[in-house]
Amino acid sequence: MLLRYKILHKGGRQIVDFVLSGDIFALQACLFKSSLYSIATVNPVVLSVIMFDKIDEVFEGNPRLSKLIFWSTACEAARRAEHLTDAARPSAYGV
């Protein structure tokens, strides 16, 4: 398992979400000049890198696999939105 995190302005670390076994993640890294977040391992993992030009080939030549990649990315965004909602909701004790 991996965790996705951001370093905060005061130096703390905010865990954004977790990357589960089998997830395709970080596709947006192909689109931005700098990383939006960092990744750390929770336990030993094996990763495979998929080069952007290969992803482009998939989207042009394999509609079924394209849909699966899109689905994976949509699930990643939905999980992150849930985590953001949970993190942004203050505790009644913290008010």
Domain ranges in the chain are 2-94
Q: What is residue 17's predicted lDDT score, i.e. its pLDDT?
A: 83
Q: Which helix (H) or strand (E) holds 11?
A: none
Q: Which helix (H) or strand (E) holds 84?
A: helix 63-88
62-66, 74-78, 91-95: least confident range? 91-95
The pLDDT tens digits of the residues spanning 52-72 come to: 888 888 888 998 988 888 888
- Which of 42-46, 72-76, 84-88 has maximum average pLDDT? 42-46
